[in-house]
Homo-oligomer: A and B are copies of this chain.
């Protein structure tokens, strides 16, 4: 029943989402305390249950909202239009836009913190688990497209490639969030190229060949 939410006063929505995002990012889904979220946001416990079905509903709504904002601002894209020439540069451009968005919408930085913790959710088929899976599927599509184009290596198990990709994604996200304040404008400009290059180091077909060449 997240329809009700749309009628909630914008300011109170902001306060709630802010507290919730901070709490989820800090303690993960299971560890997060509704009480703490409510205390910070000033909302009453029963009001929260008026707008959300349960803890999981609050969390997934939060994630979905964040993703919706991200996608709208950055602009989604279709893996099928990627070509050998545009493959890496497309992601560089997306990265550039993502940075711009986060730079404006402060609270979105929490998104990563909330999101990546989902990996370990033991409850099969849980709402939180499904979100992570959806993102993983998306990365899978991209990796497969890259392999079809011959720009992504095929000499390693696909699951390993995908796990490594998501993991690097998380690392860079965390690193950027943690060091944002210390970065000069020039650093920020150079980041998309440098960071996408890391994915290329890891995933490109050349990387695979280089390795076997080095084999004694």
Contacts and interface: CB of A to CB of B under 8 A. Distances in A.
Interface of A: 26-28, 30-31, 113, 117, 120, 122, 155-157, 159-160, 163-164, 167-168, 170-172, 174-175, 179, 193-194, 197-198, 200-202, 206-207, 210-211, 214-215
A155 to B, nearest CB: 8
Contacts of A155: 194
Nearest to A212: B197
Given A27-B122, A120-B28, A207 B215 contact: no
Given A30-B31, A122-B27, A197 B168 contact: no
Contact of A167 (B26, B30, B168, B207): B168
Nearest to A32: B30
Number of copies: 4
A120 B120 CA distance: 13
Contact of A28 (B26, B28, B157): B28
Contacts of A194: 155-156, 211
The 3 closest A-B pairs by CB, nearest first: A197-B211, A167-B171, A30-B31
Given A31-B31, A210-B201, A193 B167 contact: no
23 contacts: A26-B122, A27-B30, A28-B28, A31-B31, A155-B194, A156-B194, A157-B179, A159-B179, A163-B171, A163-B175, A164-B171, A167-B167, A167-B170, A193-B215, A197-B211, A197-B214, A198-B202, A200-B211, A201-B202, A201-B207, A201-B210, A202-B202, A206-B210
Contacts of A197: 211, 214
A87 to B, nearest CB: 12
A79 to B, nearest CB: 22
Contacts of A26: 120, 122
Contacts of A160: 172, 175
Contacts of A163: 171, 174-175
